[in-house]
Structure 1
Amino acid sequence: MRYTQLDTPTLLIDREILVENLKYMQSYADINSVALRPHTKTHKMPFVANMQIETGASGITVAKVGEAEVMAANGIKDIFIANEIVGCSKLERIRKLAETVEISFGVDTPCQVEAVEEVFASAVNPAEILIEIEVGENRSGIIEEADFIVLLDTIKACPHVHFKGIFSHDGNSYSADNLEECRQISLAAQRRTLHFAQLARENGLSPAIVSIGSTPSQMNHFEILEGVTEIRPGTYALMDASQGNAFGTLNRCAATVLASVISRPTSERVILDVGAKGITMQERNEGICAVPGKGIIKEYPDVHIANVYDEHAIIYNKDFRDQIRVGDKVRIIPVHICPVCNLYDYAVLISGDEAVEEIPILCRGKLQ
């Protein structure tokens, strides 16, 4: 059927744009002789993850153990959890996964490593860990060199823990004022990551993997410095309004939310049948990722959602109101696609005007 015949709200993915996005990033990785390990927290779909592997990705990245379990059950054999893992129950689940797939995960504190050692003490193979380096996002990761060396010494003292490498995420690039500032943030993050890689070598642990990530820098094909072995962009597969602004066009946005006009209560107000529970309340107000409102109407790119309630999106635009009628359907380009995918049981793959296939979002809700 035509996608306009689908009930609303529905998450749509344009097949041709998706395929082009996957090829675009894989080409960037190949040209720079680095591995591509896409972050699948964006789409949460084994279907898309397998497309990424088929296009050339070396493996995938996830955020949670639950996502790793689902991806492994659906044929993915090389998985990195780009997050610190705390708690014996999660470590025991990783230990079980390690029996059938290659799996690694993040640490940034000695006590985490000591807990890993205890859980993996009787495992056939050692735990594979990467140390996170904080590079300006003000989130998790090692900040001080002294703490890094203490962490390395802890790893050396744990025979069932194998140091695989280091990783970082320059999420602060999202708020860069312009592309040149974004480029400088990317380069600074790479230099800092590579510095810690060298510190590890000087302290007797050589990283096989030096992994960096962030869609704005990698969609714009910034320079990748020698010594980096892997990139981990996520949003590039589907894109969204904020990343589209950072890239300079919304034409790369593969994901949209199909919604119906359900009311035109005033001469300028229009109400759609999807709200915070279908597109989130997220906004981006700073830098190259800034976008007006809470979503852009694809067919009317100058029209944005001004506000949302749980199940309603509010638009104030007289010209738009005069052009549409109750019952019409429009596509919303979300501000931030990652949490949007987590709100739906499935997405519909479309090609042109045709609805092609339902894709289950099997990792939705896997928060543990």
Structure 2
Amino acid sequence: MNTNSLTKHQSNRIYDSFNHKSIGQKAKIYPINQHAPQSIPHENATLPLASINQHDLTNNLDWMQNFADHHNVKLCPHGKTTMTPHFFEQQLSNGAWGITVATPAQAEVAAMAGAKNVIMANQLVGMANMQRVLDLIKQYDLNFYCCVDSSVNILQLDTFFGHTNQTLNLLIEFGVTGGRCGCRTEEQVQSLAKQISDSKALKLKGIEVYEGVIGGDNAEGDIRAFLSKTLQLAQTLRENGWITTLPLVTGAGSAWYDVVAETFANLTDYFAVIRPGCYAIHDTGIYAQSQDQVMQRAQNNQGYACDLGGDLSSALEVWAYVISRPEPNKAVIGLGKRDVAFDAGLPIVERVYRNGEEFNVGDIEATAIMDQHMFVSIDADSPLQVGDMIAFSTSHPCLTFDKWRTIAVVDEQYCVTEWVSTYF
């Protein structure tokens, strides 16, 4: 079997799964009988499980969309956080311009969820990947963009797409020394722009950046300067005729989206797009800290985040049982590395239940995690016992989502309203 037919076979298999056609594949959404709701605290669902509170999710989608609209920038959230079409659909119906992805496979899921604009904030490398993107553009009439930062990659793309009737939209990635991908100098950007302009199969649309790799004591100032340079560079490319449409400029992860939106706000000579991803789910760890900094910057600079009202709230929880209490100060939870993120801090205990009722067990804290077990420290006289249920919040939702094939959507009473599928 050749590479292209394999790619199409894989594509069809995913497509059939998404549309409930493939036997043995999970459906996109499993609705719940509203007359017999699955109450997690009352043990009507098997544990461990991951849940998304729909009220918090809706709040987050509204908050960020309003933030983007106020600054007159387009919102193209990164889909890698959830890879859940049901949530993509909610983001798009709520006003998102498109979906950002990192791979052709992710682009396919975004397209199947209804996204007409997809930014692959990454380089498109490899013939099979190029073929997959070509098929997606044709099948879904997709407005697709990908990044380039090398002459070699441009030549590869030109060779492949030059044998098709399809023009590929490109964004030159502009980076910083010591960062991730991206041209390190303005001269490199201009050289690539000239090379793209000589191709009939490729079309330069703008510049993509990822400011999240800029750190240090003067990170905010350095990021603002970097973004200003990006705007100047995009304008230079247009003046030289290498960009023939309104230049698309895009940046913003989930930590500095406010600075990017402020820098790109209300620009008439550019098409500005921000790409935060984790805001939809949020967390009680690294992104909660980042959002605190967003709100602090808003207070210091009279930014819109404080005027908007409300804030982002953590929507994700992972539920599990106490399965052992082998020592007075130690309990073991049926939850492990296969179930929850642990790269940015251990899960945080939010609530404990017994017989459907929340109760206080005193101080309790996760201390270590293994594949299928997590250890918590407790007071020796704590009433916690085997069979008690614990709801944990997490840090870094991306690395919790990718551990689950189905995730429960719950109401404010923690009753499951539907099960949704992830597509990692």
TM-score higher than 0.5: yes
Q: Alpha-carbon deviation of 1:96?
A: 1.1
**Contact in 2 for aligned 1:37/1:61 (Cα 8 Å):** yes
RMSD: 2.5
- The answer to whether 1:197 aligns with 2:197 is no
Q: What's the CA shift for 1:129?
A: 1.1
2:276 counterpart letter in structure 1? P
1:352/1:137 CA distance change after superposition, 3 Å: farther
Q: 2:224 aligns with which of 153, 177, 187?
A: 187
Which residue number in structure 1 is paired with residue 281 of structure 2?
Answer: 238
Residue aligning to 1:345:
405
Superposed displacement of residue 307, structure 1: 1.7
Evaluate the alpha carbon distance shift between residue 303 and residue 234 of structure 1 in structure 2; reply closer, same or farther with a 3 A threshold.
Answer: farther
| Partner residue, 1:294 | 346
CA positional deviation for 1:171:
1.7
Distance between the aligned counterparts of 1:110 and 1:131, measured in 2?
Answer: 11
Largest Rg, 1 or 2: 2
Shift of 1:302: 7.5
- Structure 1 runs (4+) deviating above 4 angstroms are 219-222, 300-304
Superposition map of 1:101-250 within 5 A: 101-135=142-176, 138-172=179-213, 183-206=220-243, 208-218=247-257, 223-226=262-265, 227=267, 229-240=272-283, 241-248=285-292
Matches of 1:224 and 1:157, distance apart in 2: 31
User: Matched residues, percent identical?
Assistant: 26
Q: Could you tell me how far 1:93 is from its partner in structure 2? A: 0.8
User: What's the counterpart of residue 68 of structure 1?
Assistant: 107
Q: What do the CA deviations read for 1:50-95 (whole angstroms, capped 9, x no partner)? A: 1001110011101111011122223222211111111111011111
1:281 aligns with 2:342: yes
- Which residue does the alignment assign to 1:286? none
Quote the Cα distance in structure 2 between the aligned partners of 1:176 and 1:16. 36
Deviation string for 1:123-161 (max 9, x for gaps)?
A: 333001111111477111111122212211210121100
Q: Distance in 2 between matches of 1:10 and 1:131?
A: 41
Q: How far did 1:28 drift?
A: 0.7
Aligned residues: 349
**Shift in alpha-carbon separation, 1:195–1:223, aligned structure 2, 3 A:** same
Aligned to 2:80, what secondary structure does the other structure show?
coil
For residues 255 and 88 of structure 1, do their structure 2 counterparts lie closer, same or farther at Cα, with a shift above 3 Å needed? same
Answer whether contact 1:135 1:168 (CA < 8 A) is retained: no
CA distance 1:185–1:335, shift in 2 (3 Å): farther
In structure 2, how many angstroms separate the alpha carbons of the residues matched to 1:46 and 1:333? 23
Counterpart of 1:299 in structure 2: which amino acid?
Answer: R
Q: Secondary structure at the match of 1:306?
A: strand
Could you tell me which runs of 5 or more consecutive residues in structure 1 were left unpaired when the two chains were aligned: 284-292
| Alignment match of 1:326 (pick from 377, 386, 391) | 386
Partner secondary structure for residue 58 of structure 1:
coil
Structure 2 partner of 1:55: 94
Conserved? CA contact 2:341–2:397, under 8 Å: no
The residue aligned with 1:11 is 50
> Residues 40 and 119 from structure 1, CA distance in 2 versus in 1: closer, same or farther, beyond 3 angstroms?
same
